[in-house]
């Protein structure tokens, strides 16, 4: 159980920084493929930030529900 928890923590830690770096490196190609303005990167970045905040606020509740049962 302890090793599973460590794996989940490791994956969560890695995935927190992954969207920002991918957006920065991939957006110059992606916006042309999707035929959208470059400024849409700001909206996507805000969606990522809100998702991070929501997931961090819900993590305690989910931990209590699934880990401590």
Given this model, what pLDDT does residue 36 score?
93
pTM passes above 0.75? no
Given this model, what pLDDT does residue 35 score?
93
Residue pLDDT, tens place only, 34-47: 999 999 989 988 88
Give the separation between CA 60 and CA 55, rounded to whole angstroms. 9
Domain ranges of the chain: 2-66
DSSP 13-34: HHHHHHHHHHHHHHHHHHHHHH
Provide the token pair at 11.
Answer: 């994956």
Residue pLDDT, tens place only, 5-43: 778 877 777 777 677 777 888 888 889 999 999 999 899
* 23 in Cβ contact with 45 (< 8 Å): yes
Sign of CA dihedral 63, 64, 68, 69: negative
Given this model, what pLDDT does residue 69 score?
60
């Amino acid at each position: 159980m302890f090793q599973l928890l460590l794996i989940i923590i490791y994956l969560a830690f890695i995935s927190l920084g992954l969207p920002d770096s991918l957006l920065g490196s991939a957006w110059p190609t992606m916006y042309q493929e999707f035929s959208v303005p470059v400024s849409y990167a700001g909206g996507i970045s805000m969606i990522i930030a809100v998702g991070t905040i929501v997931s961090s606020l819900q993590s305690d509740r989910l931990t209590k529900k699934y880990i401590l049962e």
